[in-house]
């Protein structure tokens, strides 16, 4: 192990591949956030069948491993339904998004339940509808509780994106294996050093996500600290 670094062109390849990784992460994150909002709120619904359905989804998404789900969604389902041409990136993002939705729903449910009940009662007495209640009163307060675990969950999904190399996408992980083939052909470099560099790349990405969520938390704390909770336009919207 004479050198701890890779060559410049290899780093460029890895950075290009991290574009794919981040793309999958972005799609999965969007789908995951939407799913977790919908399912998390559905788990607190007054109707029993909605609650039951949401519980089934959460138990399924959390009970099955993301890797098996990925194989089922990206390989088994397209063959079963004959949709061979579906873009792999979308299928992988769907699998990861379902996985994230299961965990995220529980986070959002916990956040909503942590908001004191008096807030809901006060907003009922102010004649706010269920949607307004959620949008203007409960969710903003729940957000401070939701954000930190959501950041951790996003890092978990970033780690999950490494799995898409197993279904044939060229993300960071697959690019590392390609580079390894190149290294073998050229007889330069060692495998541990290569994968150590890949690990560091993932670590940096995770820290960036961490930082973004920290910034969001700080912004949120400033936004809801003292003063009127709603801006003029928001007050207008409620009226």
Partner 1 sequence: MSTVTHEEKTPDMEEIHPHRRWYRRPSVVVPVVLVVIGYSILVSPLVREQNFFRPEVAADGGVTFDWNFFVHLFPLMLQGLVVTVKATLIGFLLAIVLGFFLALGRRSKRRLLSWPVTAVIEFIRSTPLLVQLFFWQALVRASEGITLEPITILALGLGIHYATYCSEAYRAGINSVDKGQWEAATALNLGPVTSWTRVAIPQAVPNVLPALGNYLIAGFKDAPMGVAVNAHGLLFFADQVRNDTFRATEPYLIAGVGFLLVSLPAAWLVRRLEKRISYERV
Interface positions with partner 1 (CB under 8 A): 59-60, 62-69, 71-72, 75-77, 79-80, 82, 155, 158-163, 165-166, 173, 176-177, 190-192, 194-196, 198-199, 202-203, 206-207, 210
Q: Which helix (H) or strand (E) holds 181?
A: helix 172-186
Kindly tell me the burial class for residue 216, based on how many C-beta atoms sit within 10 Å of its own C-beta (0-12, 13-18, 19 or more): middle
Nearer to partner 1, 143 or 209 (CB): 209
**What is the Cα 133 distance to its own chain's centre?**
26
Nearer to partner 1, 139 or 167 (CB): 167
Structure tokens at 238: 């409620």
Nearer to partner 1, 76 or 235 (CB): 76
Considering only CA atoms, which of 163, 159, 136 is closest in space to residue 235?
A: 136
Q: Which helix (H) or strand (E) holds 232?
A: helix 232-238
Least distance in Å: CB of 117 to partner 1? 21
Nearer to partner 1, 159 or 223 (CB): 159
Backbone angles phi, psi at 64, to 5 degrees: -90, 150
Least distance in Å: CB of 8 to partner 1? 21
Least distance in Å: CB of 123 to partner 1? 31
Least distance in Å: CB of 191 to partner 1? 4
């Amino acid at each position: 192990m004479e050198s701890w670094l890779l060559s410049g062109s290899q780093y460029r390849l890895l950075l290009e591949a991290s574009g794919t990784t981040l793309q999958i992460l972005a799609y999965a994150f969007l789908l995951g956030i939407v799913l977790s909002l919908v399912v998390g709120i559905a788990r607190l619904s007054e109707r029993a069948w909605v609650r039951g359905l949401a519980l089934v989804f959460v138990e399924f998404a959390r009970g099955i491993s993301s890797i098996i789900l990925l194989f089922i969604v990206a390989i088994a389902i397209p063959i079963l339904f004959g949709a061979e041409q579906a873009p792999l990136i979308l299928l992988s993002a769907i699998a990861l998004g379902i996985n994230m939705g299961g965990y995220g729903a529980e986070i959002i449910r916990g956040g909503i339940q942590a908001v004191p009940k008096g807030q809901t009662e006060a907003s009922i007495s102010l004649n706010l509808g269920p949607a307004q209640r959620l949008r203007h009163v409960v969710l903003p307060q729940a957000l401070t509780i939701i954000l930190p675990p959501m950041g951790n969950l996003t890092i978990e999904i970033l780690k999950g994106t490494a799995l898409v190399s197993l279904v044939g996408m060229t993300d960071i992980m697959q690019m590392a294996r390609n580079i390894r083939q190149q290294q073998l052909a050229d007889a330069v470099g060692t495998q541990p050093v290569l994968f150590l560099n890949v690990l560091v790349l993932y670590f940096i990405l995770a820290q960036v996500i961490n930082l973004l969520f920290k910034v969001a938390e700080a912004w949120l704390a400033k936004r809801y600290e003292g003063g009127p909770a709603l801006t003029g336009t928001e007050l207008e919207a409620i009226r």
